[in-house]
Structures are given as structure tokens and as C-alpha cells.
Amino acid sequence: MAWIPGEDLLMNGDLEWKGKLKADEPVNFSASIRLPREGEWRIYVQGDYPTNDRLPFPDSVGIAITDEGSYFGLE
């Protein structure tokens, strides 16, 4: 597994956001990245509770990029 810092892939947008979320109000985040080669990639996102009394909660999305196209949702 190769770990590449997000800053090395970022084309535009911001990789960090801090603020307060309200219940039942959606929030959109956007960043454009360029992956260095074909393959299966997993992008990780991490959040934290404001009281810091709980561990951060990570999540990820899988992306596959091939010469035939790309798709989300790796198993």
C-alpha cells in the first residue's frame, strides 16, 4: 500500500475544513485531485468530535482507474 499526501495530489480546492455542522443540514466539500497512475485507490476522510473526548471517525471511498475508464465503490 502506498500512502501519498493529499497535498501532492491536489489540483484545486481545500483538503481541510473546520466549522460547526448542524443536524439535518447537508454540507458539500469539493477538491480536485490528480492520481499519479492507473490502479485501485482509496481516499480517506476523517472527522472529529468538538469535545475531543472520542476518537476521530474515519471513512473512505474506493476509486479504480484503468485505461478503459474509472469507477467508484471498491469492495
Residue that the C-alpha cell 471517525 belongs to: 57
- Is residue 15 within 8 Å of 7, Cβ to Cβ? yes
Please give the Cα distance from 43 to 47 (Å, whole number).
14
Average pLDDT over residues 56-74: 73
Summarised one tens digit per residue, pLDDT across range 6-62 is 778 888 988 887 777 788 998 888 888 888 888 888 777 777 666 656 666 677 777
Residue-level pLDDT at 31? 84
Please give the Cα distance from 63 to 74 (Å, whole number).
6
Q: How confident is the model at residue 2 (pLDDT cuts 50, 70, 90)?
A: low
- Is residue 47 within 8 Å of 56, Cβ to Cβ? yes
H-helix or E-strand spanning residue 40: strand 39-47
